[in-house]
Amino acid sequence: MTEYLVKDVTSNTSGITRPMFVQEITKIGEGAFGTVLQANLKNALSEPNSPQDVWIGPFAIKKVPAQTEYKSRELQILKQTNHPNIVALKYYYNYPNKDDNNRVYQHLAMECLPCNLQSEIKRYYMNKSFLPESHIRVYTFQIARAMNYLHSFQICHRDIKPSNILINPETLLLKICDFGSAKVLEPNQPSVSYICSRYYRAPELIVGCCIYTTKIDIWGLGCVMGEMYMGKPVFQGQEPMLQLREITKLLGPPSEKFIYTANPQYNGPMYSHKIYSSTAETRFQKVFNNADADAVDLLMQVLVYSPTERYGPSQIMAHKFFNEIKSINFTVQSRASTTPLKIDNLLFNFSDYELRTFGSLINDILPRS
């Protein structure tokens, strides 16, 4: 356990900057971006033994090199967002990293949840079972709700996958995290196509599309939902170009129009030869054989080649797959409790802003009495 003093720590809620002690507890994540630590904070100006002289937390503190375009983008997006299904930024500060020649690192102190969706899926899979369908409904609805909010500001997460989705298995609360790849997409402005983790990369990105939309996140949602049913990633290409081949096994070959619209210069493999004679619906039913008919239908609306034909987040929330959880009497049992949970306050605590984004679909999204 490491403790140190940081002179300038800014609260994201109040905007006040003050010195604080940081108590690093343990490493909880690591990747190309940097490191995530579990840590507590304490006001350095509080009187000893006063009510303010206490450690607060734990927080998940993400440490990334400062002064890079991606990292300033992440901070700006987290400062802008305020939603129950998006991880909240609590404090931020810069501090030299002694493990990297005292290079200045940006530290983002965010709320901490017990685990991520990847570990939850794996937990069930290792026990030769799958997430209960009621849990899949509750989690998928919250992912779509978070995307509805983000996409209303044209914020594209660009790395949707189970490890970037935090959950509390006791309450079934879900929050999207890790906005290190996120970007506000401007209409008809190019962005890098080599983005998103491979198994969750939308087909238009695979063929090199540089002018894409927030619908790439919707593809990620479909992959995550499918993975909750299968216990493993839906499309597991061993290298980037083989990823498209895996997709064709389920969706069939992409049309020439899709390829040309996504990237007129694309000269890679088209996988135009049909592997199976069965219909796409039959293949979806076979691959997701423990999903009910409504789940298969929703998956077929989001795992679609053409981004313009892919459902938007509010269309997903209005889908009949979620009718069960919209019932006033709906309860769900978490794996941590034997008492049925009533979770309407978790799913339907919409802000006025959110309600306005639903448009004509509002009555299909709201719970039913």
Smallest CA-to-CA distance from 345 within 328, 323, 363, 320 is with 328
Architecture of domain 115-365: Orthogonal Bundle (1.10)
Chain Cα centroid distance, residue 226? 14
Per residue of the chain (369 residues), what is the pLDDT tens digit? 899 999 999 999 999 999 999 999 999 988 767 799 999 999 999 888 888 889 999 999 999 988 765 558 999 999 999 999 999 999 999 999 888 898 999 999 999 999 999 999 999 999 999 999 999 999 999 999 999 999 999 999 999 999 999 999 999 999 999 999 999 999 999 999 999 999 999 999 999 999 999 999 999 999 999 999 999 999 999 998 899 999 999 999 999 999 999 999 999 988 888 777 889 999 999 999 999 999 999 999 999 999 999 999 999 999 999 999 999 899 999 988 888 999 999 999 999 999 999 999 999 999 987
- The answer regarding whether domain 2-111 maps to CATH 3.40.50.2300 reads no
- If residue 152 lies in a helix (H) or strand (E), which one and from where to where? helix 133-152
| Biggest alpha carbon–alpha carbon distance for the chain | 74
What pTM value is reported for the model?
Answer: 0.96
Active site residues: 159
Q: Where are the beta strands (DSSP E) in the chain?
A: 2-11, 17-31, 34-43, 56-65, 89-97, 103-111, 115-116, 155-156, 165-168, 173-176, 183-184
241 and 247 in contact (C-beta within 8 Å)?
no
Q: What are the domain boundaries of the chain?
A: 2-111, 115-365
In residues, how long is the chain?
A: 369
- Whole-angstrom Cα distance, residue 227 to residue 121? 8
Smallest CA-to-CA distance from 177 within 111, 99, 91 is with 111
Angle in degrees, CA 101, 91, 95, rounded to 5? 15
